[in-house]
Amino acid sequence: MPQSSPAGSVSSTVGLTKVSVDYFRPKMKGRKIFGTGDEFLEQYGTMWRTGANSGSILKLDGKVTIGDVRLASGEYQILTIPNKDEWTVVFYDGKIGGNMNAFKEENAAISIKVKPTKLSSNTETLTFNISDLNEENTAASLELQWADVSIKVPMTVSFDEEVMAQISANTQVDPQSYVQAANYYLNTGKDLNQALAWMNKYLAVGENGEQFWNVYTKARILAALGEKKEAIATAKASMAMAKVNDGGDFGYTKRNKELISSLQ
């Protein structure tokens, strides 16, 4: 038979970390959910398993920072203490299901307080979301909605160290990694001279110098270095190669024209 509180899951990659929640989804069924008194299902000030059945599990395959605390990869049960003006959210290292008597303070990896938001309409079924993913892909929110309440737990990730380590390792064995490393340095404003050296090293191998898309990247690096004359000459070379490419220019004629125009 179908469960009255069906299983649900949500996941997203934040930076390099996959963040997911597996949970069971209770429904309102006409009940009052959060408050004080016998008519409310979940009492203010009382720890809640946060979901039905065995509760809700946060899964991380990398590190995230919540508040000021770094949370290691692994699985954590999400426990909450609802209140009218403030919720406490606990990420618990272990699984206790709905047995709150088994809670041990020393297993609370993180405990953070967040402000609830009142929704304009009820969310009938408990819903988790991974929302507010920023443009840099370094921050998001773990959001819970049920009844007329929404809470968001902000989280951030840092992947620069991992990327730098991969660049260091991979450029020693895979020439294509020089392109990836140069692009990363260019896009993050790191050592542009190093980015140019990597790109030159790649373009010098075999027929790589005919790859007009990578020659265009070199022109962008030169432009970022303030080497306008060289950047324009490199962009013109990239554009000439793109125009005669049998498979089409893939938009690089326009890109090079725009780059040249910005430098004149």
Query: What 3 state SS string does 192-251 have?
Result: HHHHHHHHHHHHCCCCHHHCHHHHHHHHHHHHHCCCHHHHHHHHHHHHHHHHCCCCCCCC
pLDDT at 16: 83
Is residue 119 within 8 Å of residue 148, measured between CB atoms? Answer: yes
CA distance 151 to 67: 15
Tens of each residue's pLDDT in the chain, 264 residues: 667 789 999 999 998 899 999 999 999 999 999 999 999 999 999 999 999 999 999 999 888 999 888 999 999 999 999 999 999 999 999 999 999 999 999 999 999 999 999 999 999 999 999 999 998 888 999 999 999 999 999 999 877 666 676 776 665 556 788 899 899 899 988 899 999 999 998 998 889 999 999 999 999 999 999 999 999 999 999 999 999 998 899 999 999 999 999 998
**Residue-level pLDDT at 168:** 67
Question: What is the rounded CA–CA span in Å between residue 232 and residue 214?
Answer: 15
Domains of the chain (ranges; CATH) run: 7-156 (no CATH), 160-263 (1.25.40.10)
pTM score > 0.95 for this model?
Answer: no
